[in-house]
Amino acid sequence: MRIKKLLLAIATLTLVSATPVKHQFTAAEQQQISISTPGLFSRSNAFNIDLDALKPNEYSFPLPVGKATLRKNNVVEITTKDGDAVKAMFEGTVRLSRKYPDTGYAIVIRHRNGLETVYANNAENVVEVGQHVRAGQTIAIVGQRGGKFYCDFSIMIDGKRINPTAVVGIGSHRLHRHILLCEKQHNYINVSTIGEKVDFDDSKDFTTEDVFTKQSTYKWNLEEMKKGTWAYPLPGAKVISPYGGRRRHSGVDLKTKPKDEIVAAFDGVVTRSATHYGYGLCIVIKHANGLETLYSHQHKNLVKVGDKVKAGQVIGLTGRTGRATTEHLHFETIFKGRRFNPNLIFEHNSRGLQKATLTLTKNGGITQKRN
């Protein structure tokens, strides 16, 4: 009799374990769109999301045939036609599904990678709280307002909307194939990228060409750079601390006056714009073919992660944030993750480009030869 009861208990336990259990959310999580994710930063103030590891069937643009426009507050308006189906971007669990007076029916999906996606202005929601959904699964029917049919889409980390262009190309609908570094700094979230795979999106002003796809070396003749394709990062500056030396300085320090305008050295995409340890307020811009530039100690940053910038565009104001004893710009050049002397590119006395040709290699090597 005891054995029979034990077998019955095991069978019952197995049945209960095999039955899908809906995820439980608090009443506040089911009511509020913007709310912190419990435990997200409990072990560390930073975590990574590897977007490049996702398979094709693990991502879907919310309205694949819609036209997306980035509005203020990091909200993407995706316009389409009547009756179109709204899709889940990634696999996840529905945290919120309800109607609001100002946004219509809304859905928030919590994903295991730490992101949450928001779909608002729906005419009808077809999923409920606690339901598990797959990437590409229909979750709602698009709503209408002001004579047009559209979905208001956004991406959150810990209840805060982030720039969606760090995750997906707004014009191309393509998922960016890089790693996101998500850092909590006081009351805001900073998102930057790790890796070489940066999508410059579908714009004629930015190149997606990687010169190393068909060759292992590339010769970059600086004298052939056209006007408007480069800029000295702090016009009128003088060098107060060079690269290298006994203290192994990782960049060059340039000084003019407090709150002077700092400009982007080349066209690119902003991958960091936040306080970063001893750098203070810091900006990193990723350019084509593995080149990056770093600007730090700013009084104020004027660009955010995901912004596309042109050479010569003002990106910040000089300051003394971080480990700095005077207002100045600390400028670094990086190739394939390795810092190198900015003097290989810029002639600091004339504040122009060197009369030289750089040889770049696929594995991160860089050498200069005077023309």
Mean pLDDT (whole number) for 114-141 = 97
Q: Which helix (H) or strand (E) holds 12?
A: helix 2-18
Do 33 and 106 form a contact (C-beta atoms < 8 A)?
yes
pTM over 0.85: no
Strands (E), 276-350: 281-286, 291-298, 300-301, 308-309, 314-317, 329-335, 338-340, 346-347
Do 25 and 129 form a contact (C-beta atoms < 8 A)?
yes
The length of the chain in residues reads 371
pLDDT tens, 191-233? 876 654 444 443 333 343 467 777 888 888 999 888 888 999 9
Alpha helix locations (H) across 134-218? none
pLDDT at 10 over 50: no
The pLDDT-based confidence of 318 (bands split at 50, 70, 90) is very high
pLDDT tens, 228-278? 889 999 999 999 999 987 778 889 999 999 999 999 999 988 988 988 878
**Domains in the chain and their CATH numbers?**
27-194 (2.70.70.10), 217-370 (2.70.70.10)
pLDDT tens, 280-305? 999 999 888 788 999 999 999 999 88
The pLDDT-based confidence of 20 (bands split at 50, 70, 90) is very low
CB atoms within 10 A of CB 82: 11
Do 182 and 47 form a contact (C-beta atoms < 8 A)?
yes
pLDDT tens, 147-170? 999 999 999 999 999 989 889 988
The pLDDT-based confidence of 364 (bands split at 50, 70, 90) is confident
213-250 b/e with 16+ CB inside 10 Å = b? eeeeeeebebeeeeeeebbbbbeebebeeebeeeeebb
The pLDDT-based confidence of 18 (bands split at 50, 70, 90) is very low
Q: What percent of the chain has pLDDT over 70?
A: 89
Structure token pair of residue 190: 């900073």
Lowest-confidence region among 44-53, 132-141, 193-202, 275-284: 193-202
CA 186, 189, 194, 198 torsion-angle sign:
negative
Output the average pLDDT for the chain.
86
Mean pLDDT (whole number) for 52-57 = 88
pLDDT at 195: 53
Q: For residues 313 and 262, what is the distance between their CA atoms, to the nearest angstrom?
A: 8
Lowest-confidence region among 178-187, 323-332, 357-366: 178-187
Helix (H, G, I), strand (E, B) or coil at 257: coil
Closest CA to 92 of 131, 57, 126: 131
The pLDDT-based confidence of 43 (bands split at 50, 70, 90) is confident
> Most confidently modeled of 37-51, 87-101, 237-251?
87-101
Structure token pair of residue 91: 């696999």
Mean pLDDT (whole number) for 175-204 = 67
Which residues neighbour 303 within 8 Å (Cβ) at sequence distance 6 or greater?
270, 273, 283, 309, 315, 316
Type of residue found at 192: S
pLDDT at 328 over 70: yes
